[in-house]
Amino acid sequence: MLKRAFAIITLLFIGLWMASALSGVDFGADRMLVGKYYLNNVMMETGAVNTVTAVVVNYRGFDTLGEVTVLFIASTGVGALLWRRKKERTARTEGSVVLKTGARILLPFIMLFGAYIFIHGHLTPGGGFPGGATIATAFLMLYLAFTSYEIEHRVFEPLEGLAGMGYVTVGLIGLAIGGYFLFDWIWQTWGWGHGNIGRLFSAGFIPVIYTLIGLKVGTELTGIVDNMVKEEVSE
């Protein structure tokens, strides 16, 4: 009782403190300094219509590289924590017929939609991470509906690594051509897609990188799911 009251009072004080700090910022005020630059120059410099993905991939590409690394470490960490010599799925009940049929029918649509999200990262909201998560959802659905389903490990784990390597390779090619890591060589040096901003083939390397990130995130989250639904089997 005393503990709970103390926790509530502490939280109230923290909330009050944050509210008083935020009350100095008037809502809706124009305080953009860097943001103005992004909004004014994003089309010319990157070719992307979606400013968020241009900022995330082009202007602040290192953050995305860090996020991809964090996901990779999370996947590796789960794999290391749950590592057993012999693992099998020990699900006991098969999904009902409706669920299985539904999963089978919906699978290609969800995959297609995930691919759509990460391919159109420079045009529509989304990008590599939501697209990859959507693809992982499709695999999660298969895991939930079928007791014996298992991903092809020989395809998934190399694909994950290759996608991450592809991202770094694109950045390193930029380093060789333009002088710094993640330099957008397709847009800046080749000038490819300058004529059709707002179409699919534009925005330099954003679609390329987002396709790679989408594949990586999709396979990674699927791998985490795969690790978590399995249990050790004794001989």
Partner 1 sequence: MIASYIGEFLVIFGTIFYLLSTLGLIRMPDVYNRMQTATKSATLGSLGVIVGTGVWAIDHVGSYAWLPKTIVIAVFLLLTNPISAHALIRAAYKSGIPLWEGSVVDRYKEALGAENKEGGEE
Binding stretches for partner 1 (CB under 8 A): 93, 95-96, 98-99, 102, 105-106, 109
Closest approach of Cβ 106 to partner 1, in Å?
A: 7
Nearer to partner 1, 41 or 101 (CB): 101
Nearer to partner 1, 2 or 105 (CB): 105
Closest approach of Cβ 110 to partner 1, in Å?
A: 9
Closest approach of Cβ 109 to partner 1, in Å?
A: 7
Nearer to partner 1, 44 or 98 (CB): 98
Nearer to partner 1, 95 or 166 (CB): 95
Rounded to the nearest 10 degrees, how much is the dihedral formed by the CA atoms of 119, 125, 128, 132? -90
Closest approach of Cβ 1 to partner 1, in Å?
A: 32
Nearer to partner 1, 117 or 209 (CB): 117
Closest approach of Cβ 102 to partner 1, in Å?
A: 4
